[in-house]
């Protein structure tokens, strides 16, 4: 069984040269793999790739033959589809400084600080799907890896925000993991997650379901199809008129799902505005598969009254890590991030 993070695992400082852990983001449709290296306080990218998530039965091997991960420390993060979290509160001071509000209609628990910087969300219990835990353990043994940690999205997403822009630690910001299943919204303050909510609707599977039905294609093919579109440049490979026609057709099927996501985001923002104004974010980052598609990002941005940025990370060796690699990069950076 994979070990979880404990005090016995030392996180090395970001010194002259630190080879990051192999960060593996186990998503419902794709596995993202990133390895970073810190050299003289500059970050380089050694590995940035992804594979389609295989079935967990029959001991299917994880094809990482080109990753060079032999005896490398490995850190996993899994989507909320694969784990359940029982949230608790880290309270350094007055216990009355925080209140945990339950919304039975949504099945969501919100941590609402009543004093700025008084605490942060902490997991009391993490329960991972047994099939996934066994599968990951088998993969680690087969790859001769050294598994260090299984982490959860609220914390990996917060670290991803700080990799994108370390200055965000000094402000209140939010990040949306626009995944294939239910998107996850996290608000951080002071470098710690303070609010988290799984949004009900707006995931890529639901968002593209009508296009999948019309074209009779799986999600990964639809994603490839949608990458051809941008509202600024309809299609590079076809006439402008034909490109505009296809763009309008795709948007007509996507906009209803975008509106659902917008309503869920605004519900969360309104909740924070009413319950704890200090946690209303000043900016929204987007990562995950949805953030890789300009047609979706542009449609979402038009309906929100908060600045929207797509997560990215440019490394010293000239590589650009895209929004789908955010959490895997955050897991790799655990070698030096405290």
Expressed as residue numbers, the domain containing 93 is: 17-206+256-335
Distances (CA, A) of 169 to 22, 163, 176: 24, 10, 17
Encoded tokens for 319:
């590589």
Q: Is 44 helix (H, G, I), strand (E, B) or coil?
A: strand
Q: Is 323 within a domain?
A: yes
Residue 96, judged by CB atoms within 10 A of its CB (0-12, 13-18, 19+), counts as exposed
- Number of domains present in the structure of the chain: 1
**Residue 305 DSSP label:** S
Domain contains 243? no
Which among 204, 209, 169, 173 is positioned nearest to 324, based on CA atoms?
204
Which residue bears the tokens 């950076």? Answer: 333
Instruction: Give me the CATH number covering residue 38.
Output: 3.30.420.40
Rounded Cα distance, 13 and 277, in Å: 35
Structural domain contains residue 326? yes
Give the containing element (helix H, strand E) for 113.
Answer: strand 108-113
Per the domain annotation, does 113 fall within a domain?
Answer: yes
Query: pTM of the full predicted structure?
Result: 0.80
Q: Looking at residue 284, what is its pLDDT?
A: 96
Residue among 313, 54, 31, 281 at smallest CA distance from 179? 31
**CB of 128 within 8 A of CB of 150?**
yes
Quick one: pLDDT at residue 297?
93
Is residue 295 a part of any domain in this protein? yes
pLDDT tens digits, 196-223: 888 888 889 898 889 898 889 888 888 8
Assess if residue 211 is contained within a domain: no
10-residue mean pLDDT series, the chain (338 residues) = 31 57 86 88 89 67 50 77 62 44 45 49 65 73 76 88 93 93 89 86 89 88 82 52 82 90 92 86 94 92 92 93 95 81
Q: Is residue 124 part of a domain?
A: yes
86 assigned to some structural domain: yes
Tally of CB atoms within 10 A around 260: 17
What CA–CA distance (Å, rounded) separates 38 from 63? 26
């Amino acid at each position: 069984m994979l070990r979880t993070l404990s005090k016995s695992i030392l996180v090395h400082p970001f010194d002259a040269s630190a080879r990051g852990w192999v960060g593996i983001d186990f998503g419902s449709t794709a596995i993202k793999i990133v390895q970073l290296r810190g050299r003289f306080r500059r970050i380089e990218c050694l590995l940035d790739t992804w594979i389609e998530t295989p079935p967990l039965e029959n001991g299917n091997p994880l094809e990482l033959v080109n990753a060079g991960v032999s005896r490398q420390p490995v850190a996993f993060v899994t989507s909320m589809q694969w784990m359940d979290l029982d949230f608790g509160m880290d309270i350094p001071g007055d216990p009355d400084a925080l209140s945990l509000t339950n919304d039975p209609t949504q099945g969501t628990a919100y941590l609402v600080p009543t004093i700025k910087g008084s605490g942060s969300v902490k997991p009391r219990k993490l329960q991972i799907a047994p099939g996934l835990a066994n599968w990951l353990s088998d993969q680690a043994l087969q790859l001769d890896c050294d598994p260090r940690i299984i982490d959860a999205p609220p914390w990996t997403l917060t670290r991803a925000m700080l990799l994108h822009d370390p200055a965000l630690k000094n402000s209140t910001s939010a990040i949306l993991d626009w995944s294939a299943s239910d998107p996850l919204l996290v608000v951080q303050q002071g470098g710690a997650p303070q609010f988290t909510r799984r949004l009900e609707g707006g995931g890529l599977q639901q968002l593209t379901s009508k296009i999948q039905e019309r074209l009779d294609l799986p999600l990964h093919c639809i994603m490839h199809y949608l990458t051809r579109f941008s509202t600024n440049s309809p299609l590079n490979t076809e006439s402008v008129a034909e490109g505009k026609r296809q763009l309008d057709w795709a948007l007509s099927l996507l906009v209803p799902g975008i509106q659902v996501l917008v309503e869920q985001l605004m519900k969360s923002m309104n909740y924070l505005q009413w319950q704890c104004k200090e946690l209303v974010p000043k900016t929204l980052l987007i990562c995950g598969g949805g953030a890789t598609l300009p047609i979706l990002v542009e449609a979402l941005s038009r309906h929100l009254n908060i600045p929207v940025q797509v997560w990215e990370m440019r490394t010293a060796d000239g590589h650009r890590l895209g929004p789908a690699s955010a959490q895997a990069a955050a897991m790799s950076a655990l070698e030096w991030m405290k």
